Amino acid sequence: MSASLRDRGLSVVAVANQKGGVGKTSSVIQIAAGLAKRGERVLVIDGDPQGNLSLFFGPESKLDFGDLLAAFLRGTPIRLPDFLHKRVRRNLDVIPARNRNLRIELDDDDISRSAKPFADFISSVRIRYDWVLIDTSPSNSRLERLLIAASDAVIIPLEFQLFSVSGLEAVLSEVKECADEAGKEILIHSLIFTKAENRLNRVNTYRNVFSTFSIPIFEICKSEYLSRSLEKSRTIWECGPSSYAARDYARVIDKGFLELQ
């Protein structure tokens, strides 16, 4: 296992994949809540206009992620508390996304012009938190690139299936392009394979395929606890803290983020 994100001094982490339905938002929820449970101060930014993460936490703030980008374009001074849904869990704040028409109201040029102010915003708020986690949109649009470019590192959720290979190659290429545009290094820290089923023979085949990318791999076992907890707007730590899925996400947090033994 490579050095943890904390050991590397990387605290702004985007969870990204151009494909939907791979457990991206669920992973952000479980990792953020698990970090907060360990006493870490966490900010989550819902950068996906679908707003599923925000729906889970039930956002109360009047302004959201789309309003934040619009304020950058207007040159309006930003007050962080205006955009926060504070203490959705202890030590955990959220900047929600509620506007599903964000990509209609802000075109690619608008989003490109807000990329630098957004990166500066991230730099200003990261000192208030131990971790900033960003849930990205499932696309390769300018919006996803804005989110990745503002990050220090990227975690990629995947499933053990054939199409994930080409999907991973596309994400790796996109992150490299974002890093080049931002003029900095963005680390591909790890792959998280959600819905892993050890009893399937093909899983070992995929493990061998993805090991050739030389990126650390975590596996989250397929679990009904995860789907049940999300339906109840509860984290795995609240709904199934002794489950295998909780054990697997704890390993992501302890080894990938904190380097705890």
* Tens digit of each residue's pLDDT (9 = 90 or more) over 96-125: 999 989 989 999 999 999 999 999 999 999
Q: Looking at residue 137, what is its pLDDT? A: 87
Q: Looking at residue 110, what is its pLDDT? A: 96
Give the distance, in angstroms, between the CA of residue 58 and the centroid of all CA atoms in the same chain.
18
Q: Looking at residue 139, what is its pLDDT? A: 84
Would you say residue 26 has pLDDT above 60? Answer: yes
- Exposed, middle or buried, 38 (CB in 10 Å: 0-12/13-18/19+)? middle
Q: Looking at residue 43, what is its pLDDT? A: 98
> pLDDT tens digits for 158-205?
887 766 777 888 899 999 999 999 999 999 999 998 877 766 566 777
DSSP alpha helix (H) spans, the chain: 5-8, 24-37, 52-57, 65-74, 80-83, 102-105, 108-125, 142-149, 163-182, 201-211, 224-231, 236-239, 244-251
pLDDT interval class at 210 (50, 70, 90): confident
DSSP state of 39: T
Per cent of the chain over pLDDT 90 is 70
Q: Looking at residue 205, what is its pLDDT? A: 75
Mean pLDDT of the chain: 91
Q: Looking at residue 202, what is its pLDDT? A: 66
Cβ-based neighbours of 90, under 8 Å, separated by 6 or more: 36, 37
Q: Looking at residue 201, what is its pLDDT? A: 64
Angle at 210 between CA 205 and CA 216, to 5 degrees: 130
> pLDDT tens digits for 44-58?
999 999 999 999 998
141-154 mean pLDDT: 96
> pLDDT tens digits for 68-96?
999 999 999 999 999 999 999 999 999 99
Asked if residues 11 and 153 have their Cβ atoms less than 8 Å apart, the reply is no
Can you list the domains of the chain with their CATH numbers? 5-258 (3.40.50.300)
